[in-house]
């Protein structure tokens, strides 16, 4: 006598639902009481090694892991089953909707030998059937279609026709044997081509630099990185010497180089000529006239040969001689005299925008708005009217416009000195 369907169902229920062997009738021993473990067989040679590379949406064309059948595959009728009940693609390992809903195959019934013309909604039969108990089921691993409903597809004739199937198959690497035999591929994706090994037999971890390995038993090893990068050495950058700065070559390579700036900003210099004097020798050589502020008896002087003074080397020369008893004060803005040679690829003064410039205007008694360099605030511009520094409360800055509360009088010299921003 044949095995009853209830016994078959009890076997499947215990096997799949509980991972247990069936040892008795369900009426005598429920699935929860079956004690013998019986897991499903997982063949190592059938594991889809590259399954992680299968896209979540069926690709428009084939890849190294996925073959796409945009033109349907013509199936052959399984003559060992009832007529037209089962059709074989003769291809295995079709990708299931587990990878994404677009991998659900499409089934068509169309003229035999005409795969190119098989697609089309009028020729398609659907998995849920037409409502006449004519559903189909597809075994994706075997590539076999079975009209599992009571009836064959309603309204479709098989005379002179074949079943066609479109979808996608997995064609990547199978199994773990390649890994076990040293075929593991390791590639460092963010530092190519530093590491690119296609036949690795082992992966080693440097536990001295933060990796911690824990044997969890049963062949499992936990890998943890316990120490964050606390200094540049942890990032693979060789440390330099005291005072050096980090430089890049623009191609992700870093190294320590000597700083382009050494020393400190020079101190101010004071001169008190005993007699009329035009030229003064500075202890520190400025880069140019814009690199220093010069005051005579507390009044700012405008740089430029056609203005109040010029600079050549370390010689400060006034356009008009300074009278005896006056005080000349020179304030250096940057340590230009102690700038070392600029290293290749290092930051330069221009890159930092450390350029000192100025503008000069003449008051007309009515104009309050003057155009200045952009990106400045009241804290980065020194404003002098008639040679005297004025308070920031007497003007505002918006964009490239400086506005005085009260217009400078006719003939007053207006001088703007810009700090680097």
How confident is the model over 188-212, as pLDDT tens digits? 656 555 677 766 667 777 777 667 7
Query: Residue 89's closest CA among 23, 162, 38?
Result: 162
Neighbouring C-alpha atoms within 13 Å toward the C-beta of 358: 21
* pLDDT-based confidence at residue 82 (cuts at 50, 70, 90): very high
Query: Are 309 and 316 within 8 A, CB to CB?
Result: yes
Judged against a pLDDT cut of 60, whether residue 263 lies above it is answered with no
Please give the share of the chain, as a percent, with pLDDT higher than 90: 49
Query: Are 18 and 32 within 8 A, CB to CB?
Result: yes
Residue 18, helix vs strand vs coil: helix
More confidently predicted of 149 and 221: 149
Q: Whole-angstrom Cα distance, residue 292 to residue 286?
A: 7
Average pLDDT over the chain, rounded to whole? 84
Judged against a pLDDT cut of 60, whether residue 47 lies above it is answered with yes
Q: Check the CA dihedral 311-316-317-321 and report its sign.
A: positive
Q: Whole-angstrom Cα distance, residue 182 to residue 178?
A: 6
Judged against a pLDDT cut of 50, whether residue 94 lies above it is answered with yes
pLDDT at 352: 47
Best-predicted range by mean pLDDT among 147-156, 217-226, 326-335, 373-382? 147-156
- Pair type for strands 299-300 and 254-257: unpaired
Judged against a pLDDT cut of 60, whether residue 215 lies above it is answered with yes
Q: Whole-angstrom Cα distance, residue 372 to residue 358?
A: 9
Residue 66, judged by CB atoms within 10 A of its CB (0-12, 13-18, 19+), counts as: buried
- Worst-scoring range by mean pLDDT, 162-176, 235-249, 349-363? 349-363
Q: What is the pTM of this model?
A: 0.44
Judged against a pLDDT cut of 70, whether residue 341 lies above it is answered with no
Taking residues 1-28, report their average pLDDT: 89
pLDDT at 190: 60
How many other CB atoms are there within 10 angstroms of residue 104's CB atom?
A: 14
Domain boundaries, the chain: 1-40, 51-170, 269-418
More confidently predicted of 285 and 102: 102
For 311: left if phi > 0, alpha if psi spans -120 to 50, otherwise beta; the answer is: beta
| Rg of the chain taking only CA atoms, in angstroms | 43
In order of 47, 173, 179, 202, 393, the CA distances from 44 in angstroms are: 5, 12, 11, 20, 81
List phi, psi (to 5°) of 198.
-105, -5
Apex 207 CA angle, 205 and 213, nearest 5: 75
Judged against a pLDDT cut of 80, whether residue 102 lies above it is answered with yes
């Amino acid at each position: 006598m044949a095995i009853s369907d209830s016994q078959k169902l009890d076997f499947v229920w215990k096997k799949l639902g509980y991972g247990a062997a069936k040892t008795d009738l369900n009426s005598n021993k429920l699935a929860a009481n079956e004690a013998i473990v019986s897991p499903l067989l997982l063949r190592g040679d059938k594991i889809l090694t590259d399954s992680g590379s299968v896209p979540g949406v069926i690709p428009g064309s084939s890849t190294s892991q996925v073959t796409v059948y945009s033109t349907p595959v013509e199936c052959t009728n399984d003559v060992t089953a009832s007529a037209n009940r089962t059709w074989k693609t003769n291809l295995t390992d079709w990708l299931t909707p587990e990878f994404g809903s677009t991998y659900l195959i499409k089934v068509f019934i169309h003229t035999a030998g005409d795969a190119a013309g098989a697609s089309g909604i009028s020729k398609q039969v659907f998995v849920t059937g037409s409502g006449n108990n004519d559903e189909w089921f597809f075994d994706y691993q075997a590539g076999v279609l079975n009209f599992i409903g009571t009836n064959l597809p309603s309204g479709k004739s098989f005379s002179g026709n074949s079943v066609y199937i479109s979808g996608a198959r997995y064609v990547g690497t199978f199994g773990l044997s390649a890994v076990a035999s040293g075929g593991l591929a390791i590639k460092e994706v963010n530092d190519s081509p530093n590491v690119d090994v296609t036949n690795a037999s082992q992966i080693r971890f440097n536990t001295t630099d933060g990796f911690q390995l824990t044997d969890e038993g049963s062949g499992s090893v936990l890998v943890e990185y316990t120490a964050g990068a606390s200094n540049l050495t942890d990032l693979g950058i060789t440390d330099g010497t005291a005072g050096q700065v980090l430089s890049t070559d623009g191609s992700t390579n870093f190294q320590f180089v000597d700083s382009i700036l050494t020393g400190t900003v020079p101190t101010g210099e004071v001169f008190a000529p005993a007699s009329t004097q035009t030229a003064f020798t500075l202890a520190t050589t400025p880069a140019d006239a814009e690199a220093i502020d010069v005051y005579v008896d507390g009044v700012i002087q405008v740089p430029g040969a056609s203005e109040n003074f010029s600079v050549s080397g370390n010689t400060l020369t006034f356009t008009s001689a300074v009278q005896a008893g006056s005080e000349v004060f020179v304030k250096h803005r940057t340590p230009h005299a102690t700038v070392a040679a600029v290293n290749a690829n290092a930051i330069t003064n221009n890159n930092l925008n450390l350029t000192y410039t100025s503008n000069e205007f003449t008051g007309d008694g009515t104009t309050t708005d003057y155009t200045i360099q952009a990106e400045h605030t009241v804290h980065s511009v020194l404003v002098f009217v008639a040679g005297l520094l004025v308070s920031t409360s007497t003007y505002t800055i918006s964009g490239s416009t400086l506005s005085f509360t009260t217009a400078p009088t006719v003939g007053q010299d207006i001088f703007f000195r810009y700090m680097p921003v």
